[in-house]
Amino acid sequence: MTQSSFRRVAAAAFAASLMLSAAAQGAATGTITLQGNIAASCNITVNSQAGFNTLDFTANQTNLTVAAVNEQCNDPRGYTVSMQTANGTAGGLFKGAVAGNTDTVAYTVTYNAAAATFAASTATVTNVAAKTAAGGVNKNLQISYTGNTNLGADTYSDTLTVTITGK
């Protein structure tokens, strides 16, 4: 074998040795990132209670339960629940359906045993910094009002809209 041939064989052997070494080192470890996604889900269910639509405006009512509300939200930062009254600005207000009837019945709202304070027709009734349990949280919606025996014949109503929002 000539010196030139010997050098070529030695260089080829050295190169092969480096490639085998590099390949063996690269295969010794590896990583994989596993992940999944859970979409945000905030839901509110309002279950009306007996008598919610047959209120007696001639008699006083105190903490009359008109609905049971279920709040469910999986946002780990928490959620808020707001309530909006269609008729009132500083609180609940029953208005008649007959045109020209100016009679009204003011009422207050209690949500989960706390008074709802309305500003510009909206009240924040829940503000928490955690998610709910899988089944949610049940809360009572109650109203109170003073009866009036001198109301005009009419159907008096208001609509409360309850909204849940994740943070």
Res 90: pLDDT: 86
Res 10: pLDDT: 46
Res 20: pLDDT: 47
In a domain, 25, yes or no: no
Q: Which domain holds residue 83?
A: 42-166
In a domain, 128, yes or no: yes
**Residue 143 to residues 67, 113, 156, Cα–Cα distance (Å):** 10, 11, 15
Res 131: pLDDT: 98
In a domain, 7, yes or no: no
**Averaged pLDDT in 10-residue chunks for the chain of 167 residues:** 50 49 68 96 98 97 98 98 93 96 97 96 97 97 98 98 98
Q: How many domains does the chain have?
A: 1
In a domain, 2, yes or no: no
Res 89: pLDDT: 85
**3-state SS of the chain?**
CCHHHHHHHHHHHHHHHHHHHHHHHHCCCCCCCCCCCCCCCEEEEEEECCCCCCCCCCCCEEEEEEEEEEEEECCCCCEEEEEEECCCCCCEEEEECCCCCCCEEEEEEEECCEECCCECCEEEEEEECCCCCCCCEEEEEEEEECCCCCCCCCCEECCEEEEEEEC
Res 8: pLDDT: 52
In a domain, 6, yes or no: no
Res 3: pLDDT: 54
pTM for the model:
0.80
In a domain, 57, yes or no: yes
In a domain, 127, yes or no: yes
